Amino acid sequence: MISYTSKVNADFIARRDYLANNRYNSPQRGNRTLNQVMVNCDCEYAEHHISTLDLGHTLQPHIEYDTNHAEHGRCEFKHVPKSGMVYISKWCQAQDFDTFVFWRFVQRDWSRPLIDGDMVTYKILEYKSKEEVVANIKNEVYYEHIHSQ
């Protein structure tokens, strides 16, 4: 597992706020408050940050997948919660990409959204082919990420 530590910047916050406001004003909101939607959208951090490093990831402006990578192809980043059960919507399963990138925040304060200047650490847990992940989905939308830590 590879870890990265970085400072949250205004570019990420602007992107997160744009996504959060769109989701808050849509049926995706459910019963969640704007702060809860923002915390959920903070799970876009790894793809945003890693694309600023010289690691081969290029952030994509569309919603079908997150980055392009020379070795791993079209990548979709998914945050792995402590339960290990990663939600992968039917819509995501139907998109055209090559690889899931599973990652996790390290010691994240989940009580509030990230703010400009926060220091965060995250780990890339693994790259796994979309075919393998989708073939092992449980209950239609959950992938059980099992990885030694």
pLDDT digits (tens, 9 = 90+) for 23-66: 898 887 788 899 999 999 999 999 999 999 999 999 998 889 99
**Mean pLDDT throughout 108-131?**
96
CB 16 within 8 A of CB 43: no
Q: What is the pTM of this model?
A: 0.91
Nearest to 87 by CA among 26, 1, 38, 28: 28
Over residues 96-113, the pLDDT tens digits come to: 999 999 999 998 999 999
Q: What is the pLDDT of residue 149?
A: 46
Nearest to 13 by CA among 42, 36, 33: 42
CB 59 within 8 A of CB 49: no
Q: 124 has which bridge partners? A: 2, 103
Confidence of residue 147 (pLDDT cuts 50, 70, 90): low
Over residues 7-30, the pLDDT tens digits come to: 999 999 999 999 999 889 888 778
Q: What is the pLDDT of residue 26?
A: 86
Query: Which residues, 6 or more positions from 117, have their beta carbon under 8 angstroms from its beta carbon?
Result: 7, 8
The two beta strands, 73-79 and 99-106, are parallel
